[in-house]
Amino acid sequence: MMSKSDFFHDAAILDANDPLKEFRSLFCNPGERLVYLDGNSLGMLPSATAGYIDDIVTRRWGERLIRSYNEGWWNKPEELGARIARLTGARPDEVIVCDSVSVNMFKMIVAALREKEGRLKIVSDELNFGTDLYIIQGAADLLGKGHRLHLMKSRDGITVGDDETDGAIDNDTALVSLSHVSFRSSFMYDMPGVTSLAHERGAFILWDLCHAVGAVPIDLNGANADFAAGCTYKYLNGGPGATAFMYVRKDLQEKLSSPIWGWWADADPFSFNTGFVPAGGMRRFLAGSVPILSSSTLETSLDIFEKAGMARIRKKSLEMSGFFLELFKRHLAHIGFRLGSPNDGAHRGSHISLRHPEAYRICKALIDESEGEWTIIPDFRTPDNIRIGFAPLYNTFREIAIITSELGRIVRDKVFEKYDTEKEVVT
Ligand SMILES: Cc1ncc(COP(=O)(O)O)c(C=O)c1O
């Protein structure tokens, strides 16, 4: 069996040869003893962000005041959307930054269901994130037409098979709504394949990109996707509650109507007319004021992505997860850990879930600052998943060696037994 010193040695070689190694210094270092493997929940803070936001607050807000809207703020949703379009394989005028993922999904789901009048089935899967399913149910309830949600099953709790999608999407399906990368298992759907199946059967498709954007290359146009939404606080490092984005394919935009008729979506917002006339293009999907501060945080992070390039980020992500899986097989599989993610990188995003009956208490031990040499932050997803996020812009192979060695120690020495099972609100 490979010893601990062997795998630290291997990690050192991989780090030395990492073409992205310089990028780590572009993020705030929260301390030499902290290993942060939760960029799939809340990305790290780029070092340039605080100064950039300080300038927006003190100069653009403090001095330029309302004039700043004409000096760039009014068009911020489109400007940032165009930059996110480059990461998602969309045209610059197909993406806009606004609201939360939940609200953006609501707007697109209602618009899509109205457009496919007469079709009453909505297809998703049982692995999907809560909000996605709740918004579908709420939209169906609001429309009152008898739409029903069909949840495709996962045989292994990790993936959804092609036979499931083939069996579920039929000629009554109005909308297929799926996460490109599953939040729990990291399973990645074949976006072009499932999109063309939905289209063959006459349905729209909406992709949730929360765990995919900034983590894997995405080609919305290549797949001919209809709708997508994603958040910017995970791999995109926009900060807590940073503004989300939405995509609607160009040829659909003017055919559809958002159910929220807010003034930012009006064709002539400063006329303050009493009747709403939707703006052209993606602007018609806005609602009210777009938060300037929590959108602008994205700019410094997108600068980093544009320098690094998604191809290099994905390459390192696969190398990181490949290295981790090798260590998992040698050091963790025989002490009660099971893999909760696809083994094949081609079907996986940039995080890996490890399952263990004591997952929650193991997480507590990893995070406890007074336990052991390291403070390690992954996250926990019920019932038994420890999610380990690989953010290639700032994570190192050494950090993978550290979490492997600590997971082994905490289980072998039963360190987790010191902790109770009481859950914090955010796990
Ligand atoms: C997969 C997925 N979809 C949707 C959301 C919800 O996003 P928001 O809070 O912006 O509505 C999240 C949040 O973590 C998520 O992980």
Q: Which residues contact 417 (CB under 8 A, 6 or more apart)?
A: 361
Would the CB of 135 count as within 6 Å of ligand 1?
Answer: no
Same fold, 4-46+309-418 and 74-306: no
Length of the chain equals 427
Is 74-306 a domain of CATH 3.90.1150.10? no
Would the CB of 244 count as within 6 Å of ligand 1?
Answer: yes
**CB-based contact 236:43 (threshold 8 Å):** yes
Task: Determine how many CB atoms are found less than 10 A away from the CB of residue 381.
Answer: 19
Per DSSP, the three-state class of 417 is helix
Burial of 310 (0-12, 13-18, 19+ CB in 10 A): buried
pTM: 0.97
Does the annotation count 251 as an active-site position? no
Q: Which residues contact 306 (CB under 8 A, 6 or more apart)?
A: 83, 86
pLDDT along the chain (427 residues), means of 10: 81 98 96 94 98 98 98 98 98 98 98 98 98 98 98 97 98 98 97 98 98 98 98 98 98 97 97 96 98 98 98 98 97 96 98 96 94 93 93 98 97 94 79
Cα–Cα distances (Å) from 245 to 189, 232, 253, 272, in that order, read 20, 8, 15, 26
Would the CB of 179 count as within 6 Å of ligand 1?
Answer: yes
pLDDT by residue (tens digit) across 157-174?
Answer: 999 999 999 999 999 999
CATH of 4-46+309-418, one of 3.90.1150.10, 3.60.150.10, 1.10.3720.10, 3.20.190.10: 3.90.1150.10
pLDDT at residue 423, rounded to an integer:
80
Question: Following DSSP, what letter does each residue of 227-248 receive, concatenated?
Answer: EEEE-SSSTT---TT---EEEE
Domain ranges of the chain: 4-46+309-418, 74-306
pLDDT by residue (tens digit) across 34-89?
Answer: 999 999 999 999 999 999 999 999 999 999 999 999 999 999 999 999 999 999 99
> Residue whose CA is closest, atom 7 of ligand 1?
101
Beta strand pairing call for 351-355 and 227-230: unpaired
Q: Of 208, 226, 266, 379, which residue is the catalytic one? A: 208
pLDDT at residue 425, rounded to an integer:
79
Most distant pair of Cα atoms in the chain: their distance: 74
pLDDT by residue (tens digit) across 192-240?
Answer: 999 999 999 999 999 999 999 999 999 999 999 999 999 999 999 999 9
Would the CB of 183 count as within 6 Å of ligand 1?
Answer: yes
Q: Which residues contact 264 (CB under 8 A, 6 or more apart)?
A: 77, 98, 283, 286, 287, 288, 289, 290
Does the annotation count 344 as an active-site position? no
